[in-house]
Amino acid sequence: MADATDSPAISTSQRTMSRLLRQRAQEFLASRKHANNLVDIMDQWDEFTIQCLLTIETIFTEVLRRGDMYLEPTITLAISEPSPESRYTSWLRSCYEEVWKKILTSMENCRMTTQLQALTTAIKLMAEEGKAPLEPSDNLGYHFPLLRLKPILMTLLSPEKDNTNLIARFQEITSYPDALYYIWRCLPSLTPKRQPQEIYIKNLLELINKISLPKDGEESKISDNKELLCGPQGVAFTWDQSTVRRALNKVWACVMHWELTPQLHKQLLLVLLERVMPHLEKPVLLCDFLMDSLDSDGPIGLLALHGVFILVTKHNLEYPNIFTKLYSMFEPEIFHTKYKARLFYLSDLFLSSTHLPESLVAAFAKRLARLTLVAPPEDILIILLFVGNLLLRHPGLKRLIDHPQGEGEIVSDACTGAGDPFLMEERDPLLSNAMLSSLWEIRALQWHILPSIASAARFIHEPLPSVEYDMASALERTGGHLFDRELRNKIKDIMLTFERPNCMALPKGEKLLQYWQLTSTH
């Protein structure tokens, strides 16, 4: 992990103190007659926190490696006087505990650079203590200092301060399998069943989002990593997937009963979909929560739809009104949310079955076509591909291209849609009269100002391809791609100066030049 040695320029007094502290640390490590140097260093903590953190890290890393604080279990008589060696060891351990308190306090109450350095120092000391325990371990040569990890997690999960930056730094140790395992072991005891503060919920969700787990059957990805945070090379460590899953389920059982603000609700759904859901023992228990979330507008409803889709496709959940809910999500506001690509992707999957009623699919095709009149250019291209896929899956919908009841009568009022029997405001897709309408909106796009859109809209006049359009690759495109492509198409129209100017006079052949010469002779 990074430290603060590469921080911006510091003042002369800080440089001087840094050199002095390093000198005192070297003296302390060289001879016990300089033991009071440790007390002097700790006394400078409040004024020179970063310098003291780096110095303390150097001192106790070496002390742990030497085993100077290690205590052998012995049976002593009550009347016996402790030896000087044991008194020094006890004093050193007392200073070590005091240092840990100062480190944790620095993680809470200092500037961000100091907090990050305090976290780095805490992780390094914890790792070194794991390799050189203070007391005998029963785990056959491997020891993880949970008594150090738990206070670190408690500090990160502060109910009063947003620790997003600290958690991002803490994420670095999750690449070690033993650290990831024991983090999950600790989390259930730190998750309250009663409603916590909003900041605590935010920090917890942020932490869970940063500590990913392998899916069942993929544990070998973690087991193959032989590098441990708190153990020497070659020490055996066993990853127990069932223990980690139980811990995750205990944590999530508490989280699901908390009251959430809209922002936390959205964050919870993101973490649920991307990190938690594959590891839940009974995902179907999320049904009520996701159904309630579906009633929310905007990103919350869309993310809940994704969760319902997973339950429907992987856990055989029956939700008869899912298409009505999906249909209602296609509003002009969806184009201004960051999760619109997820909606198009899920909708394409929901409507991929060729056994759906044509009237239902026609309602989606018509609603999407109507939205092209107000959609941004990059979204229009995606919608055209989407409608093309619907026509491929349901050949009977080709009647919407050339409606038998007379398309000209519908298109005559295309600017207002007054002659169109399609009911845009109808919430039930089966009652929208889509089968009585036509896709005149796509015909209108053939005169769009952007040639790429006008060309794409001409697909309804050409034979449809035998293979569906790739929606996944289309969703990766952005407005920037569209702008760059149009710019490349227009680059040949840019006029260039073929005659290099060499003075302030106008070039030869310029009409104004003759008039300038005429007036300049008088």
Proportion of the chain above pLDDT 70, given as a percent: 80
Q: Which amino acid is at 198?
A: E
- For residue 151, what are the CA distances in angstroms to 45, 196, 228? 20, 18, 20
Mean pLDDT of the region 353-380: 91
- Give the pLDDT of residue 269: 94
Q: How many angstroms separate the CA atoms of 293 and 70, rounded?
A: 54
Q: How many angstroms separate the CA atoms of 387 and 112, rounded?
A: 51
Mean pLDDT of the region 336-348: 85
Q: How many angstroms separate the CA atoms of 423 and 433, rounded?
A: 6
pLDDT tier at 9 (50, 70, 90 boundaries)? very low
- For residue 390, what are the CA distances in angstroms to 359, 435, 464? 12, 14, 11
- Give the pLDDT of residue 213: 84
Distance of CA 127 to the CA centre of its chain: 27
Q: Which of 147, 146, 166 is nearest to 157 (CA)?
A: 166
Tokens of 486: 């149009």
pLDDT in tens, 445-502: 999 988 888 998 988 888 777 667 666 666 665 545 545 555 555 555 555 555 666 6
Phi and psi dihedrals of 136, rounded to 5? -60, 145
Helix/strand number for the chain, H first, E second: 24, 0
Do 155 and 108 meet the contact criterion of CB atoms below 8 Å apart? yes
The domain locations on the chain are 14-71+85-136, 138-281, 282-319, 320-402+421-491
The phi-psi region of residue 141 (left if phi > 0; otherwise alpha if psi is between -120 and 50; otherwise beta) is left
pLDDT tier at 8 (50, 70, 90 boundaries)? very low
3-state secondary structure of 217: coil
pLDDT in tens, 111-152: 999 999 999 999 999 999 988 888 876 655 678 899 999 999
pLDDT in tens, 505-515: 656 656 555 55
pLDDT in tens, 56-72: 999 999 999 998 888 77
Residue carrying structure tokens 């785990």:
139
- Give the pLDDT of residue 322: 86
- Residue ranges of alpha helices (H) inside 256-321 are 262-271, 287-294, 299-314
